[in-house]
A and B are shown apart, each in its own frame.
Chain A
Amino acid sequence: MLKRIIVIASFALLSHGAQAGLNILACEPEWASLTQELAGDLVRVTSATTARQDPHHIEARPSLIARARNADLLVCTGADLEIGWLPLLQRESGNARIQPGRAGFFEAAAFVRLLEQSGRADRAQGDVHAGGNPHLQADPRNLLKVGGALAQRLAQLDPANAAVYAARNQDFQKRMSAAIARWEKEAAGLRGVPVVVHHKSWSYLADWLGLKVVADLEPKVGIEPSVSSLSALLERLKTQPARMILRTAYQSPKPSEWLAERAGIAALELPYSVGGSPAAKDLFGVFDETVAKLKGGLK
């Protein structure tokens, strides 16, 4: 009996070892999806958060610490987005591979040009991202850059499969570039369209498609809108009209719908990340739906 248990146990361990590629923990679903594009079945990748969770405000739950303990690579946004929880995961994990400065810690923000770098962090201005806006995945051109850097990092950590990562990256770059060209064509009519945003989640999207952000629902960055701040905004929209209000899947629909109803404009919930809507099954789905919804908002 004991022998049998040992055989089964060692078999379980071995088979586990045989199929064990890199174990990757992505901070947000977009990076899990990007890793999947670049590595396919070679790695095991999970996301610490879902698109319905606000990545600024996550608790360093025991389950996340346990997952960080076993990760070979963390793929995160950086630029302070995860400042409230990621440092705790790293510190509590007892995992040297994923510490800052190690190859096992990948921050997307290091590989793209960040918008809104004020360098100032005066909290009187709200909960600002002083190092630059971290919501960079809303511009698919950034995915090309991050994808390239991530493919390199995967190859560095798993040299045996370097050729596979390079090939898959090339394929991803090709497909994504073609898709970007298509989205840009479809969204040509959105250039210069005035919009209201809920948090600075859409700066990169606006930058990419040429949307004109005329107002933010948040009276100050990271401060939730109140009835009085919304009323003031409604007043302002009379002289400076907007066509639609944009929010993510994790934000409360109440403020944007309150304002949309009174201002007579559309309130759109865009997927923001993979899983943010039923159709947003991968990165391509996210932008297919984003562009379609934005165009729908014009009508």
Chain B
Amino acid sequence: MEGFVVSLVIFTAIFTLFGLGLNLQWGYTGLINFGHVAFMTIGAYTTVLLSLRGVPLWLAAIIGAVAASLLGLLIGFSTLRLREDYLAIVTIGVSEMLRLVAINEEEVTRGTFGLQGFPLPLEDLNPNGFVRLLMMALLTVVIGLAYWQGFRWLRQVWKQSPTSELLSSSRVALGYILSLVLAVVGVGFLSSQLKAGEVLPPWVLGALLLAACVGIVLLFVWLGDRATKRIAGWTTGLSIVIAMIAGLVGIWAFGYSLTALYHYNDNPSKNGLMLLSVLLVALVFLGLDRLVRSPWGRVIKAIREDEEVARALGKNVFAYKLQSLMLGGFLAGLAGALYSWQLTTVYPDNFRPLVTFNAWTIVVLGGAGSNLGTLLGASIFWAYDTITRFVLRDIVPLEDARLGAFRVMIIGLILMVLMIWRPQGMLGKKEELTLGR
């Protein structure tokens, strides 16, 4: 269980970092980057290839991230002077092109065989009890910081709307989520029993299962829609409840991570990577937080909205867009290095467009222009991924391929209702969407 939680924490941290890059580019600057995985690819391959040639890991990772930001420079120079859709198209193209290059340049990347056996960070570390306690304290501080940020968000929401409204809407939201979970588990359990009992022919069972799924979806979308129209602040309540659940799951995961650090030597490379990636995310988070509140952040938000105005007020719009694209690329490149260490084998197939899609899901879900939202989005995304990967298999009698498709379908559905009920995402600011020119 510890190992499982540790790897969950690592994935969440990596995709938070990855998503923070996209959030800077799209959420704050308005750059549409549909090929975010390209930066990750560059970061991962550069790091691994350099470290295989004996470059120290930390240096290899930094060079990888710098290489990723140089890719941003290249893309930016060719497209940022044009209309914004050109950036979107070029980034898709570049990310696919890089993957194809990785497949075909077998001399360097070993193509689809992938790269294995490269050095991992901290794998030879053998910390004594004191160092391990220090690590645990560090982790505690960082996690505490994250919860404090979450608490600040909650307090702000509380100030903005009347308490009674929030309480009642949260209650309804809690009931909604509980009944949704119950319905899914119930249907899954029932169908597993039916399948095990072999009382029905498979096609009847399949049809029934399909009907039940469609029924649940329709029922809950309908309920949610009614709630959106009738209950004030319902989506806020829903966000609060989901954030709370995520927070509880987070505490649970935190407990296991602490134990894992205590037994550091059971699995040094993974435990070390967990600490490393969590610390890196914290550092980046604080740095970005300062950045987006600074005058620099003000300029990119202005550009997101009306670059003509920014230009008339003396801002070099092109340079700012380039900086944002490059910094976002740098973060994605760093995430790529961590990703390669987590996977321990790097195949071109790790960098399919789906990874970009996942980053977008995370940012949109959490709320564009909210770094905390990206953190929450990544946590929810990976919690969802894990739950559906391991729990859904036990309760819904489908084979893996279909289950995989099913899981992606659900994400699509969630994004759809999110766009209808709460287009600003969970922690986004509503005003940032509704206020027109």
Chain A bound to chain B: no
Chain B residues with CB under 8 Å of chain A are: none
Chain A residues with CB under 8 Å of chain B are: none
